Every structure is written in C-alpha cells, then in structure tokens.
Structure 1
C-alpha cells in the first residue's frame, strides 16, 4: 500500500506540473490584465510558475519519506535531510523563474542549510 501511495504522489506531481502548465498557467499568462509588478508581468508569471511547481516538489519529498519508511523506522536525521533537499531545490525555483527577484530563495536556502547541519551528529 505504501508503494502505491508513493507512486500516486509521484505521478500526481508529474500530472500537476504538466497539466497545470499546459491548461492553467499558459492560458492565464495570455491574459492582458495580470498585475505588473516590478515594471512588468514577468515577475508575476515567474512567481506563479515557481509556486505552482513547488507543490509538485513537496509531494515528491513526502513520497521520498514514505518510501524510506516502507517497512522500517526512519531516522530523524534522514527525514531532516530529505526536507533539507526539498528546501534547497525549492530555493532554485525562484532563482530560475524570477531571476532571483522573488527573495524566497534566501529563506529556502537558509532552511535547507539549517535542516542539514542543525541535527546533532
């Protein structure tokens, strides 16, 4: 059952990103009344795009934890490392989609580092 849950989370993530990009975001971005933040709509579309795909990444992080927990206890350190990786990759999204103008990347990288190095060795 856990394997099925992991597969559902993984494929839901793929469907969410692909179908959302194709049928929601692209149609939304063709509108001429998007907010023009920082002088244009590029920041707005980039922010919406990275937040949309961030959900997929979080689902995949949950899937990784469930997969690791299948049949055995998971160490706290392992859970923190998985969430650290999710946070670090999350930080890449605003860097790429908004060219770093959305400053959430700073928080994501800080959280990722704190989770990775914060657990006592």
Structure 2
C-alpha cells in the first residue's frame, strides 16, 4: 500500500484517497467488486471539499490502474478496474488475506494525509 501511495506527482492524491476508500469497504464486497461510482463518491467525501476531482481525472485513474501498479513495481497487481462492469476488484488473494486480518484503522493511521492539495 505504501508503494501504491508514494510518489504520486499529481495534486489530487488519488492513490492515497483510493486506498483510504478501499479500506472502508467490506472484504466480501471488494472480492466481488465495488462500483466505480461508489468509490468515486467515497473519495469525494474523504477529500471534504479539498481540490475538485473532475470525472476525467477519475476515468484516467481507474482506466490506468494496472499500468500504474506496473510502473510502481507492484507485482502482482493488487487492484483491477473492470471496464465492462465499471467496478474495482482486489485481485491479489494475499492482499485480501492481509487486510482481512489487520486492524484497518491502524493501517489507515500508517499513512499520513498528503499535504499537497
């Protein structure tokens, strides 16, 4: 998760807010997939009025999710965006096992909120 968040050069900090949103959902929902729209709404609520995220920003982020993970040397990828169903899934079973057995609140506290907005 740290690699996923680190080095984001955009002002939107979508990787940080995406991880924060993902950790708020039930494991079972993450395994079958969470609607892109639901995750977008969650990210907007987490940002609480900080810099506006346009729909094109979300589309770019989700459509390039696997490429982003490859660039970050995250192997195997943790997340996948299913364009047909417009849903995000966790595709790495070890990551599912990890978050199933960790206190998610503690995980969230490991990552500082980005200061650049």
**TM-score using structure 2 length:** 0.26
More helix per residue: 1
More strand per residue: 2
**TM-score using structure 1 length:** 0.26
Q: Which has the larger radius of gyration?
A: 1
Which fold has the larger relative contact order, with Cα–Cα distance below 8 Å and residues 6 or more apart in sequence? Answer: 2
